[in-house]
Structure 1
């Protein structure tokens, strides 16, 4: 699976959250990072190049700070220019049909602010309906968004959890099951370059893999027992 991360942020070099996410992009995976403001400082978008880029990828992610319940201006212009009738939709369109589409949003308030009765009054799901509509119109599958609240206040443990969630958003197949998550985690652990590990870390990683596999075997055995009970 090839993933395209379309980033829009006018001051990305000064953004702690965006720099952290950029440093978390897995190097050995088929992930393309595409920062619009760096590529198009004048705002003039190469429509054909962007459409080719979309066609080359299976999963398309928009990554941006959630400004006034929407994206920065250049991403909105990109949508208007690139997702055209005859390409993304319409009688001669649907070139994006079957691809996956999702959002990675940074917000400056607590996640609980985005709900009825909260500071913002509406949920992220409600406020991102225009993007859900894009997925529907272009016949893409809409993914559950990754919402990153108040990055500046995150502790190291929270940042590590974010790193895993972000890498999963970029690389893990869509099936959202425990087995799928375990398979992805084992794959990531096995990719670790031993040369980058401190003394003893390689053994710790191997023990972690064995523990995950043992737990999976136990769960499979319990599933088999439950199935027998249901059929009896």
Structure 2
């Protein structure tokens, strides 16, 4: 699967959350990072180039900071210009049909504020309806979002969990079953560069893989027994 991460952030070099996420993208995966402000600082978007780029990928992810309940200005202009009639929608606009579409959003306010009764009054899901409508109109499958609340306040363990969830969001199959998650972890562990491991770590890595695989075998056996009982 090929993933295109379209980032819109006017001050990406000063953003702790964006730099953290970018540094965690695995090099051995088919992932392309496309930062709009770096490519189009003058807002003059090469529409044909962007449309051809979109055609090459299976999963398209918008990644941006939450600005006034929406995305930064350049991403909005990108949508207006690139997702045109005849390309993304309309009678002949079938270029994006069947692709997956996701959102990675960094938010400066606590999660609890985005709910009825909270300071913001609406949930993130409600505020992101326009992006869901865009996916529907263009024939893309809308993935469950990855919102990141108050990154600067996260503990190191929370940041590590975020890193794993982010890598999964970009690379894992859309199904969120236990089997798919286990498969993803095993593939990541097996692809680890052993030359970068300290003494003894390869043994720990192999043990972790065996543990996950043995648990999967046990679960599969239990499922067979349960199916026979029904």
* TM-score grouping bracket, smaller chain normalisation: over 0.9
Tell me whether 1:28 sits opposite 2:24 in the alignment.
no
Instruction: Find the counterpart in structure 2 of residue 206 from structure 1.
Output: 206
Query: 2:22 aligns to what SS in structure 1?
Result: helix
Measure the CA separation in 2 of the matches of 1:118 and 1:225: 47
Q: How far did residue 65 of structure 1 move? A: 0.4
Instruction: Find the counterpart in structure 2 of residue 114 from structure 1.
Output: 114
5+ long unaligned stretches in structure 1: none
Deviations 1:49-78 (A, max 9, x none): 100110000000000001111000000000
Instruction: Find the counterpart in structure 2 of residue 216 from structure 1.
Output: 216
Task: Please provide the CA RMSD for this pair.
Answer: 0.7
Instruction: Find the counterpart in structure 2 of residue 191 from structure 1.
Output: 191
Measure the CA separation in 2 of the matches of 1:116 and 1:225: 45
> How does 1:58-207 map onto structure 2 within 5 Å?
58-207=58-207
5+ long unaligned stretches in structure 2: none
Measure the CA separation in 2 of the matches of 1:146 and 1:199: 36
Compute the TM-score of the two structures, normalised by the length of structure 1: 0.98
Deviations 1:168-203 (A, max 9, x none): 010001122100010011000111001111121111
Q: Which sits farther off after the overlay, 165-174 or 116-125?
A: 116-125
Instruction: Find the counterpart in structure 2 of residue 48 from structure 1.
Output: 48
Q: How far did residue 96 of structure 1 move? A: 0.3
Q: How far did residue 94 of structure 1 move? A: 1.5
Measure the CA separation in 2 of the matches of 1:18 and 1:29: 19
Measure the CA separation in 2 of the matches of 1:49 and 1:204: 46
Q: Which sits farther off after the overlay, 184-193 or 113-122?
A: 113-122
Q: How far did residue 111 of structure 1 move? A: 1.5
Q: How far did residue 118 of structure 1 move? A: 1.5
Q: Which sits farther off after the overlay, 83-92 or 199-208?
A: 199-208
Q: How far did residue 159 of structure 1 move? A: 0.8
